[in-house]
Amino acid sequence: MRNEPRGFSCSAFCCFAVRGFTEKRRVGLQNFSKERMNGLEGDPDLQFLLKGGDLLKVKSRSWRKTRFFRLNDDCKTMWQQTSKTFKSDSGFSLEDIDSVRYGRQTEGLRKYTDLSVEDRCFSIIFKSRRKNVDLIASSKEEAKRWVRGLEKVITGMHNLNRQQNTEHWIYNCMRKADKNADNKMSLKELKHFLRQINIEVDDSYAEMLFKKCDRSQSGTLEGSEIKHFYDLLTYREEIDVIYAKYASTNGQMSSGDLLDFLQYEQREPVSSEYVQKLIEKYEVDEIAKQNKCMSKDGFLMYMNHEEGSIFNPAHKGIYQDMRQPLNHYFISSSHNTYLMEDQLKGPSSTEAYIKALMKSCRCVELDCWDGANGEPVIYHGHTLTSKVLFKDVIEAIKEYAFKTSQYPVILSLENHCSVEQQKIMAHHLTSILGSALLTQPLGYQILTTNEKNVKCIYICIYIIYLYCLNKLDATFNNNTTEDADSVSEEDEAAELKEAEQKPKEKIKLAKELSDMVIYCKSVHFSTFEHSRDNHNFYEMASFKESKAMNLAENSATAFIHHNMDKLSRIYPAGSRTDSSNYNPVPLWNAGCQIVALNFQTPCKEMELNQGRFLPNGKCGYMLKPEFQRDPASQFDPKNLSVGPWLQKKTLHVMIISAQQLPKINKDKQKSIVDPLVRVEIYGVPADNASKQTHHIDNNGFNPTWNTDFQFTVHVPELALVRFVVEDYDAASHNDLVGLYTMPFTSMQNGYRHVPLLTKRGSLIPSAGLFVHIMALDGE
């Protein structure tokens, strides 16, 4: 079956590069690299990267070798020299870089280099599990120049809109297909190009397309012929149809036409003033702008920016009330945060804390044990996981706690240390964290936006068979502090192992460490009635997943009321030695605040967590719905009754098309994806649902489905919507192509683009879905 490319007229380009791209199309593939510079032409730091230079690469104290690095002409990939006989010189994509850190800011550099080279060091950190690249420059100035230049180019790449990413991606594929670098495209090169962009057509169609564009009959495409080929390839009929429906003013959209589109199709209650601002912002034709019209090119620009995204831009920043008690928020939380891989023999690393905090995780876990030379260490006790110094972890937390969120971080200390090393822990906490560490109660309202308690760190200590001295009881109950039992739940595997080794003795908790527990004091949970009568608002019970799931299933309303004025922390079962995760949704439905997951494991559960905390500035705190905070509420997620939670919606979803889906197997040029799309709803049991399209054969570039789905959502305030694109395989399981998860209440109606992420949560720059969304009030 012939697969014909389809798409939209791509003469609409980014505002800063319209003229450049148009001119470039006239001359074929020349000067492509300039467009990758993203406005940095002539920048001395960019020129420095393009020239490159020698750097000392560090892997251990004994492995230090000089390697040549430089930015490739595409301004998208780095080239690095290697001396391996059977390995060609290698490199990496800038899109795979998570960050560039100046100084000795990785475990490797701190361990294998001396303080004397601090200002000459920098590291390249990757989004995936690829190891950091630790480097030493010849001087402080050179190191800063590498860091500054890389950050400029990476920032420029991140600031590209979908249209710019598409342009750059396609032209980069064209360059790769141009094997002899003559800025022309032969029929053979055209076929190679089509495979590169993830589309397969039969030879007769490829020849027809080639001949249609080869107006000079020279046997190659060049100049305007390449532009014509590009326009045919990227034409999107669906955009033309939408635009034509509303462009009733001399073939263009007047401000009135655009207002009609926004109000009736997009369901946005906007004004004429807002429409004029959109025209000023996105229209690329000056004459149309003067006439207060939006051309098709300008309309495409609008659709490819955040106003045309499925995610509501109003929810991008902090928009929720941040003055509520801590108990009233879902809190993004990590379990065994120190682990990079599995729970039996994987490495422990400060890098794991950095990655979690940079994802706005607000509760991290530290399993603390006695270490050598009097220094406490963190690792998964009674296993072969490696150890990391407690001091190094606290230093990393101080550095990265508030890089992405200004709101409080909770340190969950699972303490196995002797009194002597507990005192060392207390010293490191106070000396390193300084004023960021919360040391005095703030009153009954725990979390507010007051300067006193944003950017602060709470200490929570989980202890086994320990006496706990704590000054909170004295502060709030006017008692003197005294020894009291505090028994917490912890990982079953370690708990059972420890029980086998020693009797249930009571170990003293150092007062210096205990006095740091202001909020989140660990208490043992027995019953809801016991907690109501005996526990305070600043206390927190820890539940293993099986017990929490049972309570959420069978006593949901009581659990919700417990979580209105108490804190609950849920953690994965000790049997999850592979660091897998449980489904967090039923626990959120029960109002649990700290639903801790293994952040190092890419999986559906972590995707749901990322979607839950996507809005509200990605600050790691999401305000629970009112019916999970109101003491009069009788909400039961399993048995829905009439109440403020019941806001029934009928959700209509049309999956229209996809654009520039990535190859699954990049090593096999002939491997073309057969994409299908699945839409999933996660929320209360009555709302859980999943529906999928048919698959499209051999087209990841611009597949079209035009498939309608309908869902009934009873409790939209707790619902998450998940889009999944997979590569269909009849013989085995489907491979993931990309996905996107978001709260139902943050979704925009109308024609929208859906960005796609990798399984590790990184944006796939040029890829996306095009959908139509309509959420209507149910009966």
3-state secondary structure of 381: coil
pLDDT at 25: 34
**Can you tell me which residue has the tokens 């020129």?**
47
695 classed as catalytic:
no
3-state secondary structure of 406: coil
Residue 453, token pair as written in the block: 């308690």
pLDDT at 443: 62
Looking at the chain, the domain(s) classified CATH 3.20.20.190 span: 326-628
Cα 354 from Cα 356, distance rounded (Å): 5
Question: Tell me: the pLDDT tens digits for 156-170?
Answer: 888 777 777 777 777
What average pLDDT does the segment 147-155 reach? 93
Q: Which of 168, 380, 535, 753 is catalytic?
A: 380
727 is in an annotated binding site: yes
Question: Tell me: the pLDDT tens digits for 299-353?
Answer: 998 998 999 999 999 999 999 999 898 999 999 999 999 999 999 999 999 999 9
pLDDT at 284: 87
What average pLDDT does the segment 89-107 reach? 88
User: What is the DSSP-derived secondary structure letter of residue 578?
Assistant: T
Which range has the worst mean pLDDT, 237-246, 453-462, 641-650?
Answer: 453-462
Report whether 365 contacts 337 (CB < 8 A).
yes
pLDDT at 60: 94
3-state secondary structure of 388: strand
Question: Tell me: the pLDDT tens digits for 540-553?
Answer: 999 999 999 999 99
Looking at CATH, the fold of the domain delimited by 237-308 is given as Recoverin; domain 1 (1.10.238)
What average pLDDT does the segment 141-150 reach? 96
Greatest Cα-to-Cα distance within the chain, rounded to the nearest angstrom = 95
415 is in an annotated binding site: no
pLDDT at 738: 97
pLDDT at 135: 97
71 is in an annotated binding site: yes
pLDDT band at 667 (very low <50, low <70, confident <90, very high): low
Residue 716 CA from chain centroid, whole number = 22
Looking at CATH, the fold of the domain delimited by 326-628 is given as TIM Barrel (3.20.20)
Question: Tell me: the pLDDT tens digits for 31-76?
Answer: 334 444 556 777 899 999 999 999 999 999 999 999 999 998 878 8
Residue 107 CA from chain centroid, whole number = 24
pLDDT at 196: 82
Question: What architecture is the 649-777 domain classified under in CATH?
Answer: Sandwich (2.60)
554 is in an annotated binding site: no
580 is in an annotated binding site: no
**Which one, of 175, 303, 314, lies nearest residue 246 by Cα?**
303
Asked if residue 475 has pLDDT above 60, the reply is: no
Asked if residue 466 has pLDDT above 70, the reply is: no
Report whether 345 contacts 578 (CB < 8 A).
no
665 is in an annotated binding site: no
Report whether 330 contacts 621 (CB < 8 A).
yes
77: left (phi over 0), alpha (psi -120 to 50) or beta: beta
Report whether 588 contacts 351 (CB < 8 A).
no
pLDDT at 91: 82
Cα 383 from Cα 342, distance rounded (Å): 11
pLDDT band at 249 (very low <50, low <70, confident <90, very high): confident
705 is in an annotated binding site: no
* DSSP states along 504-542: ---BPPPHHHHTT--SSEEE----HHHHHHH--TTEEEE
> Listing from the earlier edge strand, what are the strands of the sheet with 64-71?
90-93, 77-80, 64-71, 53-58, 133-136, 121-126, 97-102
pLDDT band at 216 (very low <50, low <70, confident <90, very high): very high
pLDDT band at 236 (very low <50, low <70, confident <90, very high): confident
pLDDT at 199: 80
Report whether 324 contacts 447 (CB < 8 A).
yes
What average pLDDT does the segment 562-590 reach? 96
Question: Tell me: the pLDDT tens digits for 434-444?
Answer: 989 988 887 65
pLDDT at 160: 76
pLDDT at 83: 63
pLDDT at 670: 60
pLDDT at 500: 46
Question: Tell me: the pLDDT tens digits for 740-754?
Answer: 999 999 999 999 999
Q: Which of 168, 315, 328, 335 is catalytic?
A: 335
**Can you tell me which residue has the tokens 């080239």?**
79
Regarding predicted confidence, which is higher, 592 or 7?
592
Percent of the chain at pLDDT exceeding 90: 65
Asked if residue 641 has pLDDT above 70, the reply is: yes
Which DSSP helix (H) or strand (E) runs through 607? helix 604-612
pTM of the full predicted structure?
Answer: 0.86
365 is in an annotated binding site: yes
Which amino acid is present at 272? S
Which range has the worst mean pLDDT, 14-18, 23-27, 140-144, 765-769?
Answer: 14-18
Asked if residue 152 has pLDDT above 60, the reply is: yes
pLDDT at 494: 46
Which amino acid is present at 545? E
Question: Tell me: the pLDDT tens digits for 392-430?
Answer: 999 999 999 999 999 999 999 999 999 999 999 999 999
Helix 187-196 / helix 203-213 crossing angle, nearest 10 deg: 120
3-state secondary structure of 489: coil
Question: What architecture is the 44-158 domain classified under in CATH?
Answer: Roll (2.30)
Pairing relationship of beta strands 77-80 and 64-71 according to DSSP bridges: antiparallel
380 classed as catalytic:
yes
pLDDT band at 665 (very low <50, low <70, confident <90, very high): confident
What average pLDDT does the segment 234-251 reach? 91
User: What is the DSSP-derived secondary structure letter of residue 339?
Assistant: B
Asked if residue 454 has pLDDT above 70, the reply is: no
pLDDT at 3: 39
Asked if residue 16 has pLDDT above 80, the reply is: no
pLDDT at 520: 86
Report whether 264 contacts 223 (CB < 8 A).
no
Asked if residue 293 has pLDDT above 50, the reply is: yes
74 is in an annotated binding site: yes
pLDDT band at 587 (very low <50, low <70, confident <90, very high): very high
520: left (phi over 0), alpha (psi -120 to 50) or beta: left
Pick the CATH number of 15-38+161-233 from 1.10.287.110, 1.10.1200.10, 1.10.238.10, 1.10.3470.10: 1.10.238.10
Asked if residue 648 has pLDDT above 60, the reply is: yes
pLDDT at 178: 81
Residue 463, token pair as written in the block: 């202890």
Residue 89, token pair as written in the block: 């010189």
Cα 750 from Cα 771, distance rounded (Å): 8
Asked if residue 6 has pLDDT above 80, the reply is: no
Mean pLDDT of the chain: 85
Looking at the chain, the domain(s) classified CATH 2.60.40.150 span: 649-777
65 is in an annotated binding site: yes
